[in-house]
Amino acid sequence: MIEVLILGGTWAPQGDPVTETFARTLDLARFAPRMIPYPADYGRAVSFSESSAAGKAALLAAIAATPGRIVIAGYSQGAAIAGDVAAEIGRGLWPNLEIEACALIADPRRPAGQCVGVDPGGYGIAGQRWIGNVPAFWAAAQGDPITALPAGNALRLIADLSEYLCLTSPDAAMRWGRSLIDIARHRRLQRWWTPKNVSAWTGALAYARGYLTDGRHTEDYVRFGHAARLAETINREVA
């Protein structure tokens, strides 16, 4: 039996219809899916950065504690974490850990062109992260700004400036403020506004609506079969 360790999306650490669809479409005669708990927060109680760090620690611990073959998977924030872990394992940063593959749904760091099924264009809102030496498979829905955002879309500022956002206390707000200064000082903003991206400068409102009201980041992964297609790819590719 191959264990499939899944990290849920923001505010859904125990799973939601997207991760449930992915899990139940796996060949359950060969795969045993289970959720890995972590905060899955984005500024309500802890910042995205702190939530991601906790998720990474939880996933690494789960891999280390799981005997046998392992696939890691994630949705949205969970995909960012699982993809980062897969990339680190592929680079040899965790020599005692092995995984068979990773499956990433709505990855905020999806590289351009990497998608099971029709490529919706663009790439992750937080930039592009490549995964080497580990089979990696992505699901991305058309119009989802988290994973299929055009290079020149102004929504990229949200990812750049909100990583440490948390206003639960004066100290938390101060940490966020310091992070903004640090980002500006070290010029870590994505250069979405460059002239080569001028054709994509417009459209931020449409992509924001796709995320907030149109279900591009949520329902579409079930409605149009993206999550199920990714699971079927794992069934086929992980022998």
Greater model confidence, 183 or 62: 62
Per-residue model confidence (pLDDT) at position 191: 55
Residue 187 gets the label, from left (phi > 0), alpha (psi -120 to 50) or beta, of left
The number of beta carbons lying within 10 Å of the beta carbon of residue 42 is: 21
The mean-pLDDT minimum among 19-33, 44-58, 70-84, 218-232 falls in 44-58
Average pLDDT, the chain: 83
Structural domains in the chain plus CATH codes? 2-149+214-237 (3.40.50.1820), 156-208 (no CATH)
Find the radius of gyration of the CA atoms of the chain.
17
The mean-pLDDT minimum among 7-21, 101-115, 195-209 falls in 195-209
Render pLDDT for 180-229 as a digit per residue (tens, 0 to 9): 344 344 445 555 445 554 444 456 556 666 666 778 889 999 999 999 99
Per-residue model confidence (pLDDT) at position 193: 47
The mean-pLDDT minimum among 21-30, 153-162, 191-200 falls in 191-200
Q: What is the pTM of this model?
A: 0.83
* Residue 206 backbone phi and psi in degrees, to 5: -65, -40
Report the pLDDT averaged over residues 122-144: 94
Per-residue model confidence (pLDDT) at position 129: 95
Give the separation between CA 106 and CA 138, rounded to whole angstroms: 8
Cβ neighbours of residue 93 closer than 8 Å, sequence gap 6 or more: none
pLDDT value at 141 more than 50: yes
